[in-house]
């Protein structure tokens, strides 16, 4: 699969599909309240059902042909020793995804999720595969440059990666996009974007990634400080993304934008996928409407993730101490979305079941 975006003029944001209105909200809430249970007794599952109904603009939403896309790319900053694993692991894991051996591969099979691997700039060339979408950007075919030495990408390369992500999602079926990622060094890129977009001190945004020891953490923090200082003027979202981000993060930004424009639900995995959603939200004048389409699967062990979710004003479904990435948390949260829809569609009301409601 080799998407070829048309050469149309680049726009930073796309128009959003309409959400359900207050009338739909009231109808769905009434339906939930009349199910054979005390009101609110299914807790956050009820809130999730309402969110999905509004996001899909349907009183009885259905999750159709869910697509899990793992966006993969290499990062030049990995040369600074910011990861406990060597850079070649990105290539090796792409092969593992395609062979069906990765955690996300297992979970996708278990839950019937169509899996696509989007190769956005891995330092390798892969044989054609039905699950592989090649999204390489000219001049950055093997990954970004080292952001401690200069911009990770040019502005044109960043925009091209966004366009690739948009085009890929536009060509996928279904109404749900689950985000995953792979790239040695990408927690560094996400940490840099977090501190630049939120204003949080860098130390609140940097975690151990793939499992760095104390010396590795000190080296990572020092490297990120140098990158921040070098790109102090890159304050606008796209400028920060180009200067410090990753090709897979940029492609995910475009994927989120296209999903929201076409009325899909977006299931957000962990720290790096949150970075992509945060950039997309920062580019979107109707930020709240974009976030209303996003279901945040879990809060990862990466130390900055909880703070970033708080900045966005969102609450994740799960907290399982995950720190794998790949979309594994999104896949694990998927059954909750399916259950929320089933509750709306199949659970009886007090009236239809002939069950007495609450007295007084």
Show which residues are catalytic.
Answer: 326
CB atoms within 10 A of CB 173: 9
Question: What Rg value do the Cα atoms of the chain yield, rounded?
Answer: 20
As a three-state string, the secondary structure of 279-297 is HHHHHCCCHHHHHCCEEEC
d(CA 252, CA 333): 19
Q: Taken in order 232, 238, 242, 248, is the CA torsion positive or negative?
A: positive
d(CA 276, CA 245): 9
- Cβ-proximal residues to 349 (8 Å cutoff; 6+ apart), any chain: 31, 34, 35, 36
CB atoms within 10 A of CB 148: 23
Sheet with strand 114-121: strands edge to edge: 132-134, 114-121, 67-73, 176-182, 265-268, 294-296
Torsion from C-alpha of 133, 139, 141, 147, nearest 10 degrees: -110
């Amino acid at each position: 699969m080799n998407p070829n975006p048309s050469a149309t003029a680049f726009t930073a944001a796309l128009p959003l599909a309409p959400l359900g209105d207050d009338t739909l909200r009231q109808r769905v809430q009434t339906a939930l309240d009349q199910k054979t249970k005390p009101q609110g007794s299914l807790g956050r599952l009820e809130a999730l059902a309402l969110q999905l109904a509004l996001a899909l603009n349907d009183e009885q939403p259905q999750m159709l042909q869910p697509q899990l896309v793992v966006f993969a790319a290499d990062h030049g900053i990995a040369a600074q020793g910011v990861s406990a694993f060597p850079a070649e692991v990105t290539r090796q894991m792409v092969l593992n995804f395609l062979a069906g051996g990765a955690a996300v591969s297992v979970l996708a099979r278990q839950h019937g999720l169509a899996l696509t691997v989007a190769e956005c700039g891995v330092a390798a060339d892969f044989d054609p595969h039905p699950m592989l979408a090649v999204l390489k950007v000219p001049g950055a075919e093997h990954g970004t440059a080292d952001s401690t030495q200069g911009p990770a990408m040019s502005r044109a390369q960043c925009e091209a990666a966004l366009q690739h992500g948009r085009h890929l999602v536009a060509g996928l079926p279904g109404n749900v996009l689950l985000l995953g990622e792979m790239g040695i060094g990408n927690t560094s890129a996400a940490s840099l974007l977090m501190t630049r977009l939120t204003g949080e001190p860098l130390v609140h945004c940097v975690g151990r990634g793939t499992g760095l020891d104390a010396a590795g953490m000190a080296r990572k923090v020092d490297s990120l400080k140098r990158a921040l200082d070098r790109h102090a003027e890159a304050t606008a979202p796209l400028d920060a993304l180009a200067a410090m981000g990753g090709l897979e993060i940029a492609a995910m930004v475009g994927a989120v934008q296209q999903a929201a424009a076409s009325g899909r639900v977006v299931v957000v995995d962990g720290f790096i996928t949150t970075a992509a959603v945060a950039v997309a939200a920062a580019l979107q004048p109707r930020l709240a409407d974009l976030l209303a389409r996003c279901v945040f699967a879990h809060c990862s062990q990466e130390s900055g993730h909880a703070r970033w979710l708080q900045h966005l004003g969102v609450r994740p479904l799960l907290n399982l101490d995950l720190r794998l990435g790949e979309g594994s948390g999104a896949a694990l949260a998927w059954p909750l979305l399916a259950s929320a829809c089933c509750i709306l569609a199949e659970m009886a009301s007090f009236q239809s079941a002939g069950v007495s409601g609450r007295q007084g």
